[in-house]
A and B are shown apart, each in its own frame.
Chain A
Amino acid sequence: MLVQQIVNGFTIGSVYALVAIGFTMVFGVLELTNFSNSSLYMFGAYITFLFYTATGIHFFLAFGISIVLTGLLGYGIDRFALRQLRKKKAPKLSGLITTLGMSMVVDNAIMVFFGTDSKSFENFLDFGKIYIGSAVVTWTQIIILIAACILMITLSVITYRMKIGKAMGAIAQNQDAAKLMGIDTDKIISLTFIISGFLACIAGTMVAMYYRSIDTAMGSSIGIKIFAAAVLGGVGVLPGAVVGGLVLGIVETIVSAYISTGYRDAISFSILILVLLVMPNGLFGKKAINKV
């Protein structure tokens, strides 16, 4: 049973990791807690669903369109709300509240348009299952884990090795100075939001396939976990988000398997607090975080 539980934990963990990467990336650049990330995640899944069921086009084409559209929505959130705040030199807290508001707008728009009942979603990654001892592992689970790792590596390369990543780092340190050095800060920030939209959509659609259903609460129920995973790994550190997600997933599973399902969240969050007491910057965090 332990092997099975670890497999279960890895799957939940990789779901958290997938979404947490986008979240932590925006934080890394803007030091902004982006609450609308989990709404983008739901939005992505619903748009894939819409294009696939309404137009009957090939699933992966629908997936592609949805990725683009979710990226555009991410861009929209930055362009029409956050950029205005930056222009006016609003405090960071205003940005945080704005993302919360944006998240509500997106959530409710989806609810009005699609209704609040769960919808069934076809699994296109269903390639059967394999056995490790008596434990069952489905290919969907493996693909989700691999996808999380690939995305983490790609993004790490972009942010830590490429010029654009350097620009992101510069903006994170000091926006005004970055501007003086000739960095088009608005463009780079928009790009960050677009990428986080892409990631949210990929995560949302893959999770929808795994559970074979989508509902309007899928974003809000995962939102707090994403936050916890990112904080655990060290906010702003990409590999940290993945490791944080996996650790959270496994702890959660072990708690609900061996202690109690009802108290799962209470216990796993207590563990999170304990870890943060010992390592205030998270597992991979370096500098102290003094922003919102």
Chain B
Amino acid sequence: MKKLLALLLCGTLSLSALTGCGAKEEAAEMPAQTLEEGSEEAEGSSEADATGEGTINHNGKNKMAMFGPLTGDNLQYGVKIKNGAELALNQFNEEHGTDFTIEFMDDKGDPNEAVNLANKIISDDTVFCALAGYGSSCAMATAPVFDEADMLLMGVAASHADLPGMGDYVFPVPMSARWESVGFAEIMKECFGAGKLAILYQNTDHGVQTCEFIKEAWESYGGEIVVYESFVPGDTKDFSAVLSKIKTAEPDVFYASAAYSDAAQIFMQAKQLELDAQYVGPGMCLNEEFTKLIGDSIDGTYVLSSTPCFLPSVLEAGNVDEATKKFIQDYEAAYGESPDGFSAQGYDSVKIVLDSALKAGTTDTPAVAEQILAIRSYPGLSGLNMAYNENKEMNKGIYTFEIKDGNFVPVNQ
């Protein structure tokens, strides 16, 4: 019996080894795990398409590679980004008759894993562009690898202000933390005057950096920072001590940089302690769970964001352009769920690269990068007036929302 089993195992092993070889040969022509189902189409079409109506001469470099968290704690973001990117690629191919493909890899949100994947990506001759799926840490860990290989790297959700400086061909898609913070400070100044501001931020890379910029900007307006405190996210559930401290400082505006669940706690506990100030929260709050947590307890709070809000309640209220409407419809048809800001960023990332490649007529890195850098007012879905500056920093307009009856209501400026 045992012998039989061993024989069987041997058989399957050698079989799989054989097929493995076969697949490898094929992979030279056609990247594995690609989106486009038609492997037969890829064989003959590469020349036809290169000279076809797409007029992108890619010389076999027609693949994009995205690494992001498809398992683990941040999986929900990774999946949203992946779907958005996939949708953008399919639409582009359909429209221009091109044969671009995208491969998704799972980095579990871990920078070490991301670097391994980055090395794998640069060794693939067919890849012309890498997309760092989620978070600044993974994008920044891999940036030197791609820089050395002269490969284009798009930071789909990496807003760290230092990322653009980490390579000649590194482009973040979300608004740079620097300009976002300056934008936030400016809106707070315009809406409530440059008075006394209290800042409570989470002790993470993002929290420390953004609040430093806000503080700088606020002081340059002549405003005063009365409290500037951090907290450890995940470890802190009771904010009453620091909120009481803020209360005694009597600020005019109270800004909390925190993930939605912490932000909800902070604002609700502040309300309970009768902290009398204008509350302002970051774009991380723009989701349904946040509204469920707060109920109508903190009406009047402002939420500032550089990405638009895809909540049904906001969309129903109008102010949605045709492109966004179409995106939502297509996304829902394809994935059976509604998109969010991350889907839009995934969509925009792929769209920016492919549009630029179309303009450049090639997928050569310097030419595409030149076109991306020239973007000044891009009609993207993940922001207003998307534009790169000469430092490759992304700049966008800021959306302002006020919470009314527990819902986000856009504020017209």
Contacts and interface: CB of A to CB of B under 8 A. Distances in A.
A5 B235 contact: no
A221 interface: yes
Q: Top 6 nearest A-B pairs by Cβ distance? A: A8-B240, A118-B261, A256-B241, A262-B230, A253-B241, A257-B241
B92 interface: no
Contacts of A262: 203, 229-232
Interface stretch (B22-30, B44-52, B102-110, B265-273): B265-273
Given A8-B244, A261-B231, A261-B241, A213 B203 contact: no
B412 interface: no
A116 B248 CA distance: 35
Interface residues of B, number: 31
Contact of A217 (B230, B232, B234, B245): B234
Given A213-B264, A261-B230, A262-B203, A118 B248 contact: no
Given A1-B247, A136-B272, A257-B241, 16 more contacts: A8-B244, A12-B238, A117-B261, A118-B261, A118-B264, A119-B292, A120-B293, A211-B238, A212-B268, A221-B236, A222-B237, A254-B241, A256-B245, A257-B242, A261-B229, A262-B231
Interface string B216-246: 0000000000000111101111101110110
A260 interface: yes
A138 interface: yes
Contact of B235 (A4, A11, A129, A221): A221
Nearest to B243: A8
Contacts, number: 82
A186 interface: no
Contact of B292 (A9, A120, A138, A261): A120
A247 to B, nearest CB: 15
B337 interface: no
Size bracket of the A interface: 20 to 34
A232 to B, nearest CB: 18
Contact of A265 (B235, B240, B244, B269): B235
Contact of A4 (B237, B273, B293, B295): B273
Contacts of A253: 240-241
Contacts of B245: 1, 256-257
Nearest to B275: A136
A78 interface: no
Nearest to A129: B272
Nearest to B227: A261
B391 to A, nearest CB: 31
Contacts of B292: 119-120
Interface string A3-30: 0110011011001000000000000000
Contacts of B274: 136
B207 to A, nearest CB: 11
A119 to B, nearest CB: 8
A213 B261 contact: yes
A42 B7 CA distance: 51
A215 B233 CA distance: 13
B191 to A, nearest CB: 27
Contacts of A119: 292
Contacts of A217: 234
8 contacts: A1-B245, A5-B241, A120-B295, A213-B264, A217-B234, A261-B200, A261-B231, A262-B229
Nearest to B268: A212
B289 interface: yes
Nearest to B208: A262
A212 B295 CA distance: 10
A257 B244 contact: yes
A136 B230 contact: no
B372 to A, nearest CB: 35
A252 interface: yes
Contact of B238 (A4, A8, A260): A8
Most chain A beta-carbon contacts within 10 A, residue among B238, B247, B292: B238
A218 interface: yes
Interface in A255-271: 256-257, 260-262, 264-265
Interface in A217-238: 217-218, 221-222
Contacts of A221: 234-237
A264 B244 CA distance: 15
B258 to A, nearest CB: 12
A264 B274 CA distance: 23
A11 B265 contact: no
Contacts of B268: 212
A213 B242 contact: no
Contacts of A212: 268, 293
Most chain A beta-carbon contacts within 10 A, residue among B203, B230, B231, B240: B240
Contacts of A11: 238, 240
Contacts of A218: 237
B266 to A, nearest CB: 11
A153 B175 CA distance: 57
A265 B234 CA distance: 13
A87 B36 CA distance: 61
B242 A118 contact: no
A229 to B, nearest CB: 14
A1 B289 CA distance: 33
Interface in A240-288: 252-254, 256-257, 260-262, 264-265
B237 A211 contact: yes
Interface in A119-145: 119-120, 129, 136, 138
